[in-house]
Chain A
Amino acid sequence: MGGDVPEARRLNRAVGFDGGIPDEALHLVMGYVDDPRDREAASRVCRRWLRVDALTRKHVTVAFCYAADPARLRDRFPRLESLALKGKPRAAMYGLIPDDWGAYAAPWFAELAAPLECLKALHLRRITVTDADITVLVRARGHMLQELKLDKCIGFSTDALRLVARSCRSLRTLFLEECSVTDKGGEWLHELAVNCSVLVALNFYMTELKVAPADLELLAENCKSLISLKMSECDLSDLISFFQTANALQDFAGGAFYEVGELSKYEKVKFPPTLCLLGLTYMGTDEMPIIFPFSTKLKKLDLQYTFLTTEDHCQIIAKCPNLLVLEVRNVIGDRGLEVVGDTCKKLRRLRIERGDDDPGLQEEKGGVSQLGLTAVAVGCRELEYIAAYVSDITNGALESIGTFCKNLYDFRLVLLDREKQVTDLPLDNGVRALLRNCTKLRRFALYLRPGGLSDAGLSYIGQYSGNIQYMLLGNVGESDHGLIRFAVGCTNLRKLELRSCCFSERALSLAVLQMPSLRYIWVQGYRASQTGRDLLLMARPLWNIEFTPPSPESFSHVTEDGEPCVDSHAQVLAYYSLAGRRSDCPRWVIPLHPA
């Protein structure tokens, strides 16, 4: 750009005052702007840009379904092609939110399915979707639907899947992972195989759906573009033919090893040569060798649902130098993590889930500590995502992560509560170091125990929160002071989940008012009153406050000075909404504001 052009003239041209950019050109240019934040910025420049953005916006994510009104969304983005909608609080994935809490697809489909004529991709997460809802969707959009993702949804049956399979011939992606589906028979898969020849990805992993291996073979035959199948349990030896036919398959998860110690049966399974993403359910020590021939090709390995020991993990991971994603339970142990640090130099994502607490139930003495975490931090410098359930931790380990994992954008740590002794608490300094050094961090979770993080430590989290947009904090801080000081620092925090904390309602409200970007907060386990009265301190326009009162038994528990103590049932959910108060709250959720 010519450095001497006066600013005023340059800007004039940009906005088209001097006969500059015509609308068509603006449409075209806008079409290249994909990032939602950039789109939002562009839409706020002036009315003309708002209009052009509205007409050219291809995808919208409604991060919380009660924050927006479907009709309004339809009116603003009439040419929307792709919509993502999230419902129940995340806690639903941990069994903490009853099914009748809410988040229904019905009003959305009613308003959007027919009028949005360009809609071809839909992603619903933690939402109740009925057969009737899917019928409405398919009737309006079936001929165009390319992607249907029902992610941890409940309420529908295989009848709806049959309808989708029969009507949506353009379907490329059908995703049903972890849905609760009423199984009325496996014909839906047969219909899918027969009708949807352009299918690329099919996922019914972590469901209880029963399917016939013959239909999977038919799927492999007809859907030549199929590169991903993640399925429910099915003996792997029944899939031999499927794997032979689906020779372009890259991603497989599920199956099952039903017969322990029968390696000869499973040895015959030959995986497609392109396979590089893998997760095998119930795989044990004896069956593990079937992966060895192609282990160096593996980019993703999911061992969360296997029966492998610590030693097994060491052995198999040593053979996978090209892993980008690794998901395990904490049986991997520090030893296994050392192997990860030594071997998986390209690792981007690491998830260490919580195994069985009870000793003696085949879970070898695993458990992950600062030793393993440090080994991983030092060895895997490309890490972007770390989620770990640890049994022990030190400040030093967190500092190491801060020092070595510069690309980290998502960090989650849960300190399990089995071990009485933790090497190094509080974690104030380690947390500070990690947050200061991992400047790309956007999501952060820290779940500790009393004494795990002092008020000063909690204030560090706020102070060094940087660009973090989502946080889950559990058992942190010592008092309301810590919470307020934390809140003052969080300029970019948009979504906050708090659990098992000692804070009062008053402090929660005041803290919320301190956080300028906060649009959603969920709290469970705090010093709740019976009515949630002090929550009204955060009442303001467009801010919905919903309260689940503490259970009657715990109401009688008070501390020495008469203050209510932490209640395990009381919940608070507060969020910005342009849709007004919820009209479909269950009986046990009280909308406090708007009244």
Chain B
Amino acid sequence: MGGEEMAGRATAAASAAGKDKSSFAVTCSLLSKYLKEKKGGLLGLDLGMPPPPPAAAVRAGGAFRLPPTTMNLLSALDAPPAEKQNAADSVPLSLDKAGAEPPLNAPTDDQNAREEAVEQARPLTIFYGGKVVVFDNFPSTKVKDLLKIVRSGDGVDKSMPRPAHNDLPIARRNSLHRFLEKRKGRITGNAPYQDSSPVASSKKANGDRSWLGFGQEVTINQEII
């Protein structure tokens, strides 16, 4: 709550997020928090929270950004990047069609575990059966137990079926495509602007006209008309 704590978190977040994190942005966030506290609470008076910015500036994430309301459920993921590793550890394991089942509940002895291992408690997010559950302080000692429970059940579906065929060709950029089509036109000698010098005719390739019009519509140079 105090200024020093905020400043500490700010520097940690700023350095953890990478060298280019704008210190201006961090300072603005600090200032904003200070103002809110000074005015006695979050939605106080005429210095309350600004209205949501236009979508041009809509963005969540980051240690201090006010998360949009849609992000409340995923507050665990707003943790500073230093904790990214732990988030990765708590990846949901079962993506099978499990049907609609009630969400997992935290172990009942969580309370005791929390007191004992309070320094190891970190956020945990579970996706299950189409629902999302977030635990703000899930002790790391319990994570192993949880994983054991999950693994012993359905099991990780290591054999995710590969697609039977995936024949999506790598698409070609329009500008390049047009250029290459025009070049084919010149080589096959069908373009009227090509002169009949020996250099040109010697470069005639297979002259396969079926190449013209392959794929996208060919844009013919207007001089032909």
Query: Are B47 and A47 neighbours in the complex by a CB distance under 8 Å?
Result: yes
Most buried by A among B172, B193, B219: B172
Q: Tell yes or no: B102 within 8 A of A by CB.
A: no
- In chain B, positions 169-195 with a C-beta closer than 8 Å to chain A are 169-180, 183-184, 186-187, 193-195
- Whether the Cβ atoms of A568 and B167 lie closer than 8 Å is yes
Instruction: Please count how many residues in chain A sit with their CB below 8 Å of the partner chain's CB atoms.
Output: 120
Quick check: is A5 within 8 A (CB to CB) of the other chain? no
Say yes or no for B54: interface residue by CB 8 A criterion.
Answer: yes
B-binding segment of A190-198, A267-275, A540-548:
A540-548
Say whether A576 contacts B169, CB under 8 Å: no
Q: Please tell me which one of the listed residues A44, A304, A507, A540 contacts residue B32 in the complex, with CB atoms under 8 A apart.
A: A44
Q: Is B155 an interface residue (CB 8 A)?
A: no
- How distant is the Cα of A525 from the Cα of B167 in the complex, in angstroms? 9
Pick from B29, B55, B84, B88: contact of A68, CB below 8 A.
B55
How far is B156's CA from A332's CA once the two chains are assembled, in angstroms? 47
Q: Cβ of A36 and Cβ of B20 under 8 Å apart? A: no
Residue picked from A60, A96, A463, A517, most chain B C-beta under 10 Å = A517
Tell whether A560 is near chain B: CB-to-CB under 8 Å: yes
The reply to whether A488 and B88 contact each other, CB–CB distance below 8 Å, is yes
Q: Does A381 contact B (CB under 8 A)?
A: no
Which one, A162-170, A221-229, A356-364, is touching chain B?
A356-364
Docked pose: A61 CA to B186 CA in angstroms: 41
In B1-59, the 8 Å CB interface with A consists of: 3, 17-22, 24-25, 28-29, 31-32, 34-35, 38, 46-48, 50-59
Contact of A485 with B88 in the complex, beta carbons under 8 Å:
yes
Decide if the interface of chain B is mainly helix, strand, loop or mixed: loop
B165 within 8 A of partner (CB): yes
Complex: chain A residue closest to B216, CB-CB? A95
B127 on the A face (CB < 8 A)? yes
* Selected interface stretch from B64-72, B109-117, B137-145: B64-72
- For A557, the chain B residues whose CB sits under 8 A away are 164-165
Report the bound CA distance from A516 to B175 in whole Å: 35
Q: Which residue, B157, B161, B186, has most C-beta atoms of chain A within 10 A?
A: B161
Q: Does A514 contact B (CB under 8 A)?
A: yes
**Contact in complex: B35, A46 (CB < 8 Å):** yes
Is A67 a contact of B24 with CB atoms below 8 Å? no
B118 interface contact, C-beta 8 A: no
B60 / chain A contacts, CB cutoff of 8 Å: 516-517
Report B-chain residues with C-beta under 8 Å of the C-beta of A356.
180, 183
Residues of A223-240 whose CB lies within 8 A of B: 233
Residue A445 interfacial (CB < 8 Å): no
Q: Can you name the residue of chain B whose Cβ is closest to the Cβ of A359? A: B205
Within 8 A of B (CB), among A29-71: 33, 35-38, 40-48, 50, 60-64, 67-69
Given known contacts A44-B50, A484-B95, is B163 in contact with A502 (CB within 8 Å)? Answer: yes
Once A259-B195, A260-B194 are accepted as A-B contacts, the answer to whether A72 and B54 lie under 8 Å apart by CB is yes
Residues of A74-108 at the interface with B, using a CB-CB cut-off of 8 Å, are: 76, 91, 93-96
- Interface contact tally, CB-CB below 8 A: 271
Q: Which residue of chain B is the closest to A210 with respect to CB atoms?
A: B222
User: Does A361 lie within 8 Å of B24, measured CB to CB?
Assistant: no
Q: Which of B29, B56, B70, B175 contacts A178 (CB 8 A)?
A: B175
Tell me the chain A residues, 311-333 only, with Cβ under 8 Å from chain B: 329
How close is A3's CB to chain B, nearest CB, in angstroms? Answer: 14
A15 to B46, CA, bound (A): 14
CB of A214, distance to nearest CB on chain B (Å): 17
Q: Report yes or no: B25 in contact with A506, Cβ–Cβ below 8 A.
A: no
- What's the least CB distance linking A468 to chain B, in Å? 10
Residue with the highest number of chain B CB atoms closer than 10 Å, among A94, A305, A491, A524: A491
B152 lies within 8 A of chain A by Cβ: no
Contact B57 A36 (CB under 8 A): yes
Chain A residues near B81 (CB-CB < 8 A): 491
Q: How far is the CB of B39 from chain A (nearest CB, A)?
A: 9
A146 within 8 A of B: no
Residues of A within 8 A of B216 (CB): 95
State the Cβ distance, A177 to closest chain B Cβ, in Å: 9
Contact call A414/B194, Cβ cutoff below 8 A: no
- Known contacts A260-B200, A261-B199, A499-B168; 11 additional CB pairs below 8 A are A45-B31, A62-B55, A258-B194, A304-B175, A356-B180, A360-B205, A466-B18, A492-B62, A500-B166, A516-B60, A542-B70
17 examples of A-B residue contacts, CB within 8 angstroms: A38-B24, A45-B28, A45-B35, A46-B32, A60-B56, A62-B55, A64-B55, A73-B54, A260-B194, A262-B195, A353-B173, A488-B84, A491-B77, A502-B166, A510-B95, A558-B164, A566-B163
> Top 9 nearest A-B pairs by Cβ distance?
A479-B160, A94-B171, A517-B61, A516-B61, A67-B55, A41-B25, A41-B28, A566-B163, A261-B199
